[in-house]
A and B are shown apart, each in its own frame.
Chain A
Amino acid sequence: MPEEMPRGRLAIYILMAAAAVLGVLAVVVTGNMSMEDRYANATGANTTGEEEGGGFLGFSLEAELVGFVVICAVLAVVSVLALRQLRRKEGEG
């Protein structure tokens, strides 16, 4: 016999499903467009749009490519240094 789902968990999933349905209705009303276009339409603001890199399978980069790569590299180095620091501290401990 399948395990019964606790009522609290069921309530959470129902609320999440309701939020999703509400959101899909909002998408249907406003139409399919990028977030930037949604903001421009909603606020009536004139926008030149953000710089967008090349796409792959519908995925695209909403940032200037060189800057993105440089910042990712810097963040990766900082993360590695933080990890090495952690390993050294754990080794001492």
Chain B
Amino acid sequence: MAHIHLEDGAFSPLWVIIWSLLAAGAMTVVLYTLRGGKMSPRKLAIAAMCTSVGFAVFQVSIPIFGGIHLNLTPLIGILAGPALGSISVLAINVFSAAVGHGGWGMIGPNTLVNMVEVILGYYGYRLIRAKMRMDRFTAGAAAATLALTVSALMIVGIVVVSGLQDSENTAQETLRNMLLLAGVNIAVGVVEGLVTGYIVSFIGRIRPDLLADAERGAAKGNPAAEARPDA
């Protein structure tokens, strides 16, 4: 997952407040969409498990490219949906800050970045699976890669716009370096995309009901999906 790996104090208090208010606003919209609607126990159980797995996976550094980590945010979006998925990533960011992985002041910007991953993961999967009629692996891999590519570029924007308090770089130097970093994040996004594709196609084979929400309309008028619902 894309995540701003900076400590508290990297952004000025003003920017911490701005990003935190934006994240709070986005979370208010999410809670508003959930109001009054009966949340199914199934969705809640999926969201709880996604949060648990997402948190655990995110803390593990994987020895690729010198050390990366996945947290499967687009997968959380596909399984839990955009609203519950957004709440799930907020919880993961708060818990991560609590164990020293990411600063408390970074919860706002990181939640915004992760919400974009969740929302694009969900709607990207729906679009590719239902409208473009792709198989589950391709739809999951493409949606996750797209979501993580956009979020990697979003991080560049957030860091460059905010500026860093203790940086010795000029804004142009930071932009150039952050674009290179975004390139690395995009490569990690492809790895996470492949992992997401495999997990989605595995879940589709053993528990296709867990993907029912994200696949509404996928089989309708899709000869491949009608003939082989496990595809």
Report which A residues bind B (CB closer than 8 A).
8-9, 12-13, 15-16, 19-20, 22-27, 29-39, 41-48, 50-52, 55, 57-64, 67-68, 71-72, 75-76, 78-79, 82-83, 85-86, 89-90
Q: Is the interface of B mostly helix, strand, loop or mixed?
A: helix
Is B62 at the interface (CB under 8 A from chain A)?
yes
Residue of B nearest to A49 (CB): B7
- B188 pairs with A72, CB closer than 8 A: no
Known: A34-B66, A59-B61. A43 touches B187 (CB 8 A): no
- A22 in contact with B187 (CB, 8 Å): yes
With contacts A19-B190, A75-B52 taken as known, whether A82 is within 8 angstroms of B184 at the C-beta atoms is no
Interface residues in B136-184 by Cβ distance below 8 A to A read 138, 141-142, 145, 149, 159, 164, 166-169, 173-174, 177-178, 180-184
Of chain A, the residue at the smallest CB distance from B167 is A44
Q: Is the interface of A mostly helix, strand, loop or mixed?
A: helix
Contact B187–A44 (Cβ < 8 Å): no
Contact, CB under 8 Å: B99 / A16: no
CB of B186 within 8 A of CB of A19, answer yes
Known: A8-B134, A27-B187, A75-B52. A43 touches B65 (CB 8 A): no
The answer to whether residues A71 and B187 also contact, given A59-B60, A62-B60 and a CB cut-off of 8 A, is no
Q: Pick the contact of A26 from B96, B174, B180 — CB < 8 Å?
A: B180
Chain B 38-70, CB within 8 Å of chain A: the 1/0 string?
A: 000110110111011001100111110111110
On chain B, the residues within 8 Å of A15 by CB distance are: 142, 145
Verify if B17 is at the interface (C-beta below 8 Å from A).
no
Inter-chain CA distance A47–B65, complex, in Å, is 20
Q: Which residue of B lies closest to A81 (CB)?
A: B48
Subset of 9 A-B contacts with CB under 8 Å: A12-B134, A19-B190, A26-B180, A26-B183, A39-B5, A59-B61, A64-B99, A71-B55, A75-B55
Asked if B132 lies at the interface with its beta carbon under 8 angstroms from chain A, I say yes
Chain A nearest CB from B43 CB (Å) reads 9
A82, B48: Cβ atoms closer than 8 Å: yes
Chain A residues, CB < 8 A from B185: 23
| Given A16-B141, A38-B181, A86-B45, also A61-B61 (CB < 8 A) | yes
Which residues does chain A contribute within 8 Å of B95, judged by CB atoms? Answer: 71, 75
Contacts of A35 in B (CB 8 A): 3, 5, 61, 67-69
Q: Kindly list chain A residues whose C-beta atoms are within 8 Å of the C-beta of B55.
A: 71-72, 75
Q: How far is the CB of A85 from chain B (nearest CB, A)?
A: 5
- Smallest beta-carbon distance B141→chain A, Å: 7
